[in-house]
């Protein structure tokens, strides 16, 4: 199966945009004590982050993208895990808003999509 690199970039670009929006939505749900909604969206968000980092990793290995260090997310994902274990929704919200969202925004700015 062959993939057009520009299609992969476009999908990655779109997905990063959706993750950024989702990080705000999750935080807002937690700040409003809508923990069930937040938890459901957080599960999907984390799957999306995993997909995104896998794609970036593969593009990095093929030298097809500006080198993006996906490991910068690791300490913040550990903090989210700790927040989940301790039911610390404020910690989770703060990590998403002030740490993870800026990283995703930076990655989005590095993924260039050529217009067809």
Residue 90 structure tokens: 């404020």
Q: With 60 as the cut, is the pLDDT of residue 116 above it? A: no
Q: What is the pLDDT of residues 43-99, one digit of tens each?
A: 999 999 999 999 999 888 887 766 889 999 999 999 999 999 999 999 999 999 999
Contact of 55 with 99, CB cutoff 8 Å: no
Q: Report domain extents, the chain.
A: 5-110
Q: What average pLDDT does range 16-37 have in this prediction?
A: 97
Q: How far apart are CA 24 and CA 7, in angstroms?
A: 26
């Amino acid at each position: 199966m062959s993939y057009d690199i520009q299609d992969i970039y476009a999908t990655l670009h779109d997905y990063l945009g959706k993750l950024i929006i989702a990080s705000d939505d999750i935080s807002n749900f937690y700040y409003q004590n809508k923990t069930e909604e937040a938890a459901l969206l957080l599960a999907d968000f984390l799957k999306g982050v995993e997909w995104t980092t896998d794609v970036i990793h593969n593009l990095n290995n093929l030298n097809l993208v500006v080198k993006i260090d996906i490991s910068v997310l690791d300490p913040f994902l550990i903090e989210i895990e700790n927040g989940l274990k301790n039911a610390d929704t404020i910690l989770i919200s703060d990590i998403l808003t002030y740490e993870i969202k800026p990283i995703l925004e930076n990655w989005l700015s590095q993924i260039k999509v050529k217009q067809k």
